[in-house]
Structure 1
Amino acid sequence: MRFFSKKQLLLVCSLAFLLIVISACGNDSNDTSSENSDETKGSEVTIEGKKGEVTIPADVERIIAPYHEDALLALGVTPVAKWSIGKSVQDYLEPQLKDVPRIEWNLPQEQVLEHNPDLLVLGSDLASYEGSYEDYQKIAPTYVMPEDVSNNWRKQIEVFGKMLGKEDKADEVLAAYEEKVAKAKEKLSNSIGDESIAMIWVAGDQFYLLEKDRHSAEVVYSELGINVPPFVESLGKSKVAWNPISMEKLSELKADHVFLLALEGEQGLETLEKSAVWQSIPAAEKDQVYVMNDPSFWTNKGLIASQKTIDALVDTLVK
């Protein structure tokens, strides 16, 4: 049998003690790493929707929210698919969404499955979708907006912020928007005073005068405080369907400024140019008719749409 000398025994004990310390430090490091990972990982959120409570998974990444992409993008979130009707999309969002694949507006289930979403966000009108709420729930957690959220882009941003752990971001972008409105309101007041504005969407050879609460008109009249022409006031509140207006009726439009929302080459623009009736309205006589070649944000609601409307007004009217 071999015996260790005192010197050798001391060396062995020292090495054993060192290994124990190293092992303990390694475990502490792993524990700390695990704790840090848990701290940075998001947590589930339960939120009340039109169809009851929905639990939103932590750190969702693949979101489909057709026609509500404006609110997602405002929070810095890109959806996995974007709303479309055939090849038609929300053009004003294309700078951010040009590489995102389209999904049909009524959400066919096979198309939804192709994108493998981990969250679906639907508007309040479930009848407009091809599948039922139960069908979509089988694919991914599905939140259906209550009417007051579906119809209010500010509330959408707040709800999406809560869903996605971006409540601070939601507060930030909404505050920045209010500041933008205040600055633009002052500039426009100094520039055009109490003059009035009307907006007409030109599609083909049809003309649609925006009521005071429809899409961008709400920004113009309610938020920026610009005067409503009497004829627009007489239209009352907007209805779901757009109703074209005749050229004869347009002759009653006593607006100081008119914005024509029309893609380049629309037939209606040529019709107006050749119409003696149109040329006799105050805005045309003062050469204060402006053609806006991207109608998409004027005919939509959302933070980004509203920002673009404000920018277009200021760029056009503030000298």
Structure 2
Amino acid sequence: MKKFWKVGFTAALALFLAACGEDEATSGKSKQVEAEPKEHTVTYMDKEYKVPAEPTIVAASLESMEDLALLGVKPAGALAVGDELPSYLAEDLEGAELIGDKRQPNYEAILGLNPDIILGTSKFQEDVKTQLEKIAPMMPISHVSTDWEANLTAVAELTGKEDEAKKILEDYKADAAKVKDAVSESMKDKEVVVIRLRAGNLMIYGTDLYLNPVLYTDLGFAVPDEVAAAKAQEAISLEKLAEMNPDYIFLQFEESENADKPEALDELQKNAIWNGLDAVKTDQVFVNSVEPLAQGGTAWSKTKFLEAVQQNLSK
């Protein structure tokens, strides 16, 4: 009888201790879960976006892909160029699922990734914007270059990379100041312009667009009248460019943007008017000094273009 009592008591005690252990473990887990924020709010362009602490992100714009790559973040999905990740971002974004072309995201592919937030672009047409917002909140990353700090900061807050973003911004501004000091004297009376060959046409941009803020805001170069007058991306004739006759030209040519006129660059370089430009005659035309698909108004683009300007204009 005593033996039975001892066995029973021992078993009961073991069960009691096990139950206490489970309660403590459960309690610990509860406390741990409660300590972790379930979601946080990111404010971008006066709009609030609520996301989990570690959101599933789909990058449906090259602008956001550049910022994510610079911050060292791999999204669940990203856009393709020619059925694959853009070569200049492929290594940084390796493993991201392809979710369509930059002009037309694949809604089914995006839906299949069950994103918490979609990083789009302010260039989206209204119908694309509407369809994406049916899937998840869509943050339209601005294509206006002067919004680059707000863009990077918002993406950093979404991904917990605030410290990295702060350093990127500080480093860029410090580097820009050094380059400005290095070239200010030699570039005092010089005219510099960025031109993009698209669909066989020469395109220039307004002061606040594409790569231009690096030249005219950060480095303080004189703004050509034609650039000052441009409200957006605008075509400029070769004859008008000849009248402008800049001292330095950064010429961007991407094959995928000239699919119908693949020989546009070769034809331009053989043109007599082009060859009469001062920049051409003095060998001051820099073709694709930065990745031609670079969006311009991102920290990635600005950092790379600043390096190109330093390399080519401080000789």
**TM-score w.r.t. length of structure 1:** 0.75
Structure 1: 5+ residue runs without aligned partners?
A: 4-8
1:173 aligns to what? 168
Change (3 A) 1:250 1:123: closer
Which moves more between the two structures, 301-310 or 179-188? Answer: 179-188
State the one-letter code of the partner of 2:100: I
Aligned length in residues: 304
> Which whole-Å deviations, capped at 9, do the CAs of 1:241-279 have from their partners, x for residues lacking one?
x33322211211232212222248953333333333222
Q: What is the letter of the counterpart of residue 161 of structure 1?
A: A
Instruction: Structure 2 unaligned segments of length 5 or more: list them.
Output: 256-260
In the superposition, relative to structure 1, how do residues 295 and 145 fare at CA in structure 2: closer, same or farther (>3 Å)?
closer
Say which of 170, 174, 180 aligns to 1:185. Answer: 180
What residue in structure 1 maps to residue 293 of structure 2?
296
Shift in alpha-carbon separation, 1:143–1:257, aligned structure 2, 3 A: same
Match of 1:245 among 236, 252, 255: 236
Q: What SS class does the counterpart of residue 228 from structure 2 fall into?
A: coil
What is aligned with 1:130? 128
Kindly provide the CA deviation profile for residues 80-119 of structure 1, in whole angstroms up to 9, marking residues without a partner as x: 2223466486554334235432423443432321322222
Identify the residue that residue 258 of structure 2 maps to in structure 1.
none
For 1:27 and 1:114, how far apart are their aligned partners in 2? 38
Match of 1:76 among 72, 80, 100: 72
Between stretches 200-209 and 18-27, larger displacement belongs to 18-27
Q: Tell whether the 8 Å contact from 1:42 to 1:165 is kept in structure 2 after alignment.
A: no
- Work out the percentage of aligned pairs sharing the same amino acid: 26
Deviation at 1:211, TM superposition (A): 3.7
Contact 1:149 1:156 in 2 (8 A): no
Q: CA deviation at 1:215?
A: 0.5
Structure 2 match to 1:256: 247
Q: Tell me the residue number matched to 1:6.
A: none
Deviates more, 1:170-179 or 1:259-268: 259-268
Which residue does 1:196 correspond to in 2? 191
Task: Measure the CA separation in 2 of the matches of 1:53 and 1:263.
Answer: 36
Report the CA distance between 1:220 and its aligned residue.
1.3
Normalised to the residue count of structure 2, the TM-score between the two structures is 0.76
1:304 shift after superposition: 0.2
SS at match of 1:252: helix
1:217 to 212, 219, 227: 212
Look up the match of 1:315. 311
Amino acid at match of 2:281: E
Secondary structure in 2 matching 1:213: coil
Larger Cα-atom Rg: 1
